[in-house]
Amino acid sequence: MFGGRGAARREARQEAMAVRDLMHGNIAGAMRHQERAEQIHHRREVRQEVAAIRDLSQGNLLGAMAHSAAANHLHNTGPNLHGLGQRHPVASAVAIGAVAAANASCTVTQVFTPAAAYAPPPGQALMTVVAPPGICGGQQVQVTTPDGQILNVAVPAGICQGQQFQVAYTARPVQPVSAPAYPGYAQAAPPYAPAAPRSQATMTVEAPPGAYAGQHVQIRTPDGQIMGVTVPAGVGAGQLFPVTYMPR
């Protein structure tokens, strides 16, 4: 192996870690590992050049030519992160990922799938979810729909903590209530009487552990109703916030 087997293994290990971080969306980590791989690669190239000069000075032309060829090979296949070159596929991938992240930060677009660009399948509804802390693309999270359903969804690729993405779900159908029919019997409809207005009630809710602003959480009202509510802005785990509901 050019430049020593141990150095080549260290370089390959750093490149593998760079690819891993790039796949997980960790651009900073990928660039850090790729920079270490470049340093190891450069030292391997310099070592071959020094060996070529040494053999040449000792009259070992074959050895000098072999080390020179190895140095040229390392130079032509070395990582080229800064110029986005195509000499090394790992370096190019890391560099392209870095540029993509920079472009994304300039556009300040954090919604993964805008509602205007994505229509849910027939019979389904859309809800917006904020990726919790420590969560990135490909991981599973549990969310509560506005109608109280608890779903396990996969975070889309490229989404990390604090960013938003949309989830399609099947809304619970509303069952119509119909009056029983009696054949041969016609009943006059009762006179219309407007229902007395119902007043809403307010309860205080404590944000559960790990909750954050914008997250959908499930609560139980004093009269036993299960509701899905959104944690208000500025409220974190353990903090109190008011919720308005309609008593039974």
The string of pLDDT tens digits covering residues 85-106 is 334 454 545 444 544 444 444 3
The string of pLDDT tens digits covering residues 174-214 is 666 665 555 555 556 667 667 667 788 889 989 889 888 88
Tokens (6 digits) for 72: 């040229």
* Residue 7 burial (C-beta neighbours within 10 Å; 0-12, 13-18, 19+): middle
Percent of the chain with pLDDT strictly greater than 70: 72
Dihedral class, residue 126 (left if φ above 0, else alpha if ψ from -120 to 50, else beta): beta
